[in-house]
Amino acid sequence: MTLDVSPLARVAPPAAPEAVPAGLLTFGEDEPSPRGQRLRALLRRPGFVLALAFVVLVIVSALVPRFFTTYDPYATAPAARLTPPGAAHWFGTDELGRDLYTRVVFGSTLTIEAALSAIVIALVAGLTLGVVSGFFGGWLDAVLMRVVDVSLAVPGLLMALAVVTALGFGTLPVAIAVGIGIVPGFARTTRAEVLRVKTLPYIEAARAGGATRRRILLRHVLPNAWGPVAVLAVLDFGVAILSVAALSFLGFGAAPPAAEWGTLIARGRDYLVTAPWVSLLPGLFVGLVVLSLNHVARTLEEVR
């Protein structure tokens, strides 16, 4: 992943027109703001719009699952057990006759919540570490970056397993565990960006103008450094969903009958021969969500 994506285009002073990305611009009529141009360039990509719409839809369904289905996720119907996908049950039914599509929609509440909390934890910790490290430098930077290096030596999911062992099972421990696993990446990216922004002339100008360190950091460095971090956050949101799903697949997530996406797939394992849709369709859904997130992140990276 290239981490050198700069939001320069957005903040470029009007005196430097060459900083504006060429090629994707529409010339003529009234002059659109750089931000508007970027948005327009993004919206002209049907794949991006589609992926973004899907992600937004999934997040909304996680917030208000009731709006997206008429079934009850826990209502069993023994007569209709293991019904194949059809008009009545879009994803079919599971071993207790529960509507699988409804279970997936309600499962998104838990999974998306866990993944979002993981990202928030990672963002807060990673941004703080990266900014402190990059902005203040010196021995603090050296120490913090060595710590980050070491945490990178333990793969994220394994670190998450250790944290889950220590904290116990459930949605929140899983979220914390996954969050801790992705902090190092955020810290590194933020630090690199802060280091880059720190040397730009306008920071020097702000300093010469008598701005305090805190003001420079909060008003000048941070707003211009967080672009790539935001892209990474979108990308890692997908990674977090996969990790949360993996951990709940292994049985460390919410207790039944509540179902996270991973739990749904795990339960369907036993019926793979007779009713493959029980685990394959929810899994496909997870894959689509993560793919959409990846696509959104990649397009954001490409269109500056």
Partner 1 sequence: MLRYVIGRVAQALVVLWAAYTVTFVVLYLLPSDPLALMLAANNVQLDSLSPDQIAAARARFGLDQPVHLQYLHLLVRALHGDLGTSLASHEPVRQLLASRLPPTLVLSLVAVVLALVGGVVLAFLAAYVQWRPATLLLTRLPSLGVSLPTFWVGLLLIQVFAFTLHWVPATGNLGWRSDVLPAVTLAIPTSASLAQVLTRSLRDTLHEPYITTARAKGLSRFQVQLRHASRNAALPTLTILGLLVGATVTGTVTVETVFSRTGIGRLAAESVLGQDVPVVQGIVVLTAVAFVLVNLVVDLIYPLIDPRVVHAPKVV
- Residues touching partner 1: how many (CB under 8 A)? 52
Considering only 143, 166, 205, 255, the residue that binds partner 1 (CB under 8 A) is: 166
Sequential DSSP letters for 30-55: SPPPHHHHHHHHHHT-HHHHHHHHHH
Nearest distance, CB of residue 233 and partner 1, angstroms: 17
Candidates 55-63, 105-113, 215-223, 281-289; binding stretch for partner 1 (CB under 8 A): 281-289
Would you give the end-to-end CA distance of the chain in angstroms?
16
Going by C-alpha positions, the residue among 117, 116, 103, 119 that lies closest to residue 260 is 103
Nearest distance, CB of residue 283 and partner 1, angstroms: 3
CA distances 18 to 9, 51, 228, Å, are: 9, 31, 21
Nearest distance, CB of residue 266 and partner 1, angstroms: 8
Nearest distance, CB of residue 113 and partner 1, angstroms: 18
Considering only 226, 283, 303, 304, the residue that binds partner 1 (CB under 8 A) is: 283
Nearest distance, CB of residue 203 and partner 1, angstroms: 20
Sequential DSSP letters for 186-212: HHHHHHHHHHHHHTSHHHHHHHHTT--
35-46 burial, b if ≥16 CB within 10 A, otherwise e? eebbeebbeeee
Determine if 298 is a binding residue for partner 1 (CB under 8 A): yes
Determine if 163 is a binding residue for partner 1 (CB under 8 A): yes
For partner 1, the binding residues in 200-229 under the rule CB under 8 A are none
Q: Is 77 left (phi over 0), alpha (psi -120 to 50) or beta?
A: beta
Determine if 161 is a binding residue for partner 1 (CB under 8 A): yes
Give me 203's structure tokens. Answer: 């920071």
**Residues contributing to the site for partner 1 (CB under 8 A):** 1-2, 145-147, 149-151, 153-159, 161-168, 238, 242, 245-246, 249-252, 262, 265-266, 268-269, 272-273, 276, 279-280, 283-284, 286-288, 290-291, 293-295, 298
